[in-house]
Amino acid sequence: MRTPLKNVRHLGSAKEGTDHFWRQRVTAFAALILLPLFVVLLVNLVGADYGTVRRVLAHPVVAILMVLFIGAGLLHMRLGMQTIIEDYVHGEGRKVLLLMFNTFFVILMGVVAVYALLKLSFVEG
């Protein structure tokens, strides 16, 4: 059902649903493309010693692909959790608080993951 007000404003009910939908699909596609590379890397490094793992992860191409995989996965997770929070949490105060925690959690996990990868890549030892 379309209301005349909706047609005048040219907005949907949430005003940004299409953008959110496409961002979810793009991040899912990016993660899906990078996932086989991550799995192959993980399988090849099972049982390897620390020096070998560090050498492999220090390679610029591998490190960049890992950062892209981490970023795509975390952004996709944030978008999915945002949808769940918006759909199932009632009460604006709780909803806003959980959306903020969701964003801060993703930022924290991204910083920790990229720091660990950079430390493995650049620290000798």
From 78, 64, 68, select the one nearest 35 (Cα to Cα): 68
What domains appear along the chain, each with residue ranges and CATH number? 14-122 (1.20.1300.10)
DSSP 16: -
pLDDT at 124 over 90: no
User: Which residues, 6+ apart, have CB-to-CB distance to 83 below 8 Å?
Assistant: 20, 24
* Exposure string for 43-64, b = 16+ CB within 10 A, e = fewer: eeeeeeeeeeebeebeeeebbe
**Inter-residue contact 36 to 69 (CB < 8 Å):** no
pLDDT tens readout for residues 42-70: 999 999 999 999 999 999 999 999 999 99
